[in-house]
Amino acid sequence: MDLGLKGKKAIICASSRGLGKGCAEALAEAGCDIVLNGRNETVLEETRTLLQNRFGVSVAAIAADVSTREGQEALLAACPDPDILVNNNGGPPRRDYSELDRAALMEGVVQNFVTPIELIQVVVPGMKERGFGRIVNITSLSVKMPIEGLDLSSGARAGLTAFLAGVCRQLAPHGVTVNNLLPGKMDTDRLKGGFERAAQQSGKSIEDVRAAQAAEIPARRFGSAEEFGQTCAFLCSRHAGYITGQNILMDGGLYPAAF
């Protein structure tokens, strides 16, 4: 399918690896010029070279913390007028709510609530003027189905979802859509870290923990960054202009609800 994105410009936050990288690959495949972002310069450059060589599009790599004003300014300097913004950032580490002090709470809120809004505020005027814009926020299944120890991440991302529920209706008449992608258990480094913790706590092998968790998912497997990225690319396409304000679960059926 031609997504109608050739020549469009995309900023993908936290995209040197994992789900962000999957989105960058899919958008590059669709013909977008890409601005990558990450904190590890070596990994970031590897991803930049891979995408540029494989897809022949323009790929810039900005090593920065997107949660900081300086990081945001660097991204926007590389691409002042993006057609696509994919908001992504690492979530706070797993921690019981009773252990969170004020500093930790504020950091989580800035990472997963304030930062996406700040970027949206800057890029939307140009999108409205051009009559086309696609904003995709990578949130989490935990927005709908809380996960123990991820309360701060869940709360901040749920807040972002509620905040943008009204904003997306304001932007819809201008050809600008805002949607959220909610990953469940995806085969990423973050998930593998969870296997290691569970194995240490239970005394089971990592392989046994992995198999047991996969068995809990109706699809009987974990999701891939590639399929996640392709879904992101579709939401950014010319075919998805009538989809806005939606929370798209990518969890293999793990969330047990009809609505």
Residue 196: the pLDDT is 83
Q: Which residue has the higher pLDDT, 226 or 197?
A: 226
Rounded to whole angstroms, how far apart are CA atoms 87 and 107?
17
97 membership: H or E segment, kind and range = none
Name the average pLDDT for the chain. Answer: 95
Rounded to whole angstroms, how far apart are CA atoms 24 and 32?
9
Q: Tell me if 87 sits within 8 A of 135, measured CB to CB.
A: yes
pLDDT in tens, 21-56: 999 999 999 999 999 999 999 999 999 999 999 999
Rounded to whole angstroms, how far apart are CA atoms 193 and 66?
23
Region 115-123: mean pLDDT is 98
Q: How far is CA 3 from the centre of its chain?
A: 20
| Single-letter amino acid, residue 71 | G
Q: Single out the residue of 230, 211, 231 nearest to residue 221, CA to CA.
A: 211
Residue 188, pLDDT above cutoff 90: no
Give per-residue burial for 214-224: e unless 16+ CB within 10 Å, then b. eeebeeeebbe
Rounded to whole angstroms, how far apart are CA atoms 134 and 132?
7
| SS3 assignment, position 152 | helix
pLDDT in tens, 144-161: 998 888 999 999 999 999
Residue 203: the pLDDT is 87
Q: Per-residue confidence at 16, pLDDT binned at 50, 70, 90?
A: very high
Rounded to whole angstroms, how far apart are CA atoms 176 and 127?
7
Residue 118: the pLDDT is 98
Rounded to whole angstroms, how far apart are CA atoms 174 and 125?
10
| SS3 assignment, position 187 | coil
HEC readout, 191-222: HHHHHHHHHHHHCCCHHHHHHHHHHCCCCCCC
73 strand-pairing partners: none
Residue 93: the pLDDT is 86
Classify residue 149 by its DSSP letter.
T
Max CA separation in the chain (angstroms): 58
Give start and end residues of each alpha helix (H) in the chain: 18-29, 41-55, 69-78, 102-109, 115-130, 151-171, 189-202, 206-215, 225-235
Rounded to whole angstroms, how far apart are CA atoms 178 and 240?
11
